[in-house]
């Protein structure tokens, strides 16, 4: 079996995007004349990893599905009625994907600039390392100028040996943790069996009362499992939740 057949891609695209203004689903906000999710799907298609990715939809799902039907490509949609966090959203795909792949990549419909090369690099590093989790990280010099878009990203916590031990969401971080300039765009590749068996370990004991997919890093650490990582360029990690952040993306659109 080739690598291409071993890996399935999940794209989370259920959010409303209230802070964007208007009533369109967030992933349909446009950057350089094209919706954010279409930018992402072009990279997914170019990567050649998964010719029918799973898209988790929610708010105005019919609008998203109708827009993507114009791509003349196949997608499998799963509905998320309750927005209870990224871990909850991924868990909704379990019944469909459980026996369909050895590895699962998770991406986000409001992060338009991740490249096909990075998606392949994430997959390849994961398969080569044979780790349970491989993730992308971004190292910034500060949160000034356009990098202010990253200030609300979760921070990567490493031990004294440089190994990733956990992720801290911005709203749960201490004053010292907020100063950390290595951030998490939440691009993951998981061993599928490990992922499906550990999603049920997630808890919503945090400020937002959500099930964070990123908590799997600490769960792995607590069980003696090391998280592998790749470092990517900051542009590829840019996402948007507000009109101001969308304006930053326009600056970097090509």
Q: Which residues are marked as active site? A: 19
Q: Is the dihedral of CA 139, 143, 148, 151 positive or negative?
A: positive
Residues 6+ apart with CB under 8 A from 16: 23, 25, 26, 58, 59, 60
Residues 6+ apart with CB under 8 A from 249: 31, 36, 112, 113, 238, 240
Residues 6+ apart with CB under 8 A from 223: none
Identify the residue whose tokens are 């590829």.
236
Q: Show contacts of 174-179: CB within 8 Å, 24+ apart.
A: none
**Cα–Cα distance measured from residue 196 to residue 201, given in angstroms and rounded to the nearest whole number:** 10
């Amino acid at each position: 079996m080739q690598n291409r057949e071993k890996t399935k891609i999940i794209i989370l695209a259920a959010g409303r995007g209230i802070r964007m203004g208007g009533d369109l689903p967030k992933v349909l906000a446009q950057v350089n004349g094209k919706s954010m999710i279409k930018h992402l799907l072009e990279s997914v298609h170019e990567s050649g990893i998964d010719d029918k990715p799973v898209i988790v939809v929610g708010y105005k799902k019919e609008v998203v599905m109708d827009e993507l039907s114009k791509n003349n490509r196949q997608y499998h949609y799963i509905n998320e009625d309750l927005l209870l966090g990224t871990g909850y959203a991924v868990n909704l795909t379990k019944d469909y994907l459980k026996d369909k792949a050895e590895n699962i990549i998770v991406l986000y419909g409001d992060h338009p600039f991740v490249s096909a090369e990075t998606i392949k690099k994430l997959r390849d590093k994961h398969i080569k390392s044979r780790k349970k989790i491989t993730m992308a990280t971004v190292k910034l010099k500060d949160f000034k100028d356009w990098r202010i878009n990253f200030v609300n990203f979760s921070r990567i916590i490493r031990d004294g040996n440089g190994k990733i031990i956990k992720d801290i969401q911005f709203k749960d971080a201490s004053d010292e943790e907020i100063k950390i300039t290595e951030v998490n765009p939440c691009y993951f590749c998981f061993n599928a069996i490990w992922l499906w068996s550990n999603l049920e370990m997630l808890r919503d004991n945090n400020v937002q009362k959500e099930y964070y997919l990123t908590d799997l890093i600490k769960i792995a650490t607590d069980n003696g499992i090391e998280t592998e990582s790749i470092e990517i360029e900051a542009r590829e990690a840019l996402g948007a939740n507000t009109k101001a952040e969308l304006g930053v993306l326009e600056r970097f659109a090509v």
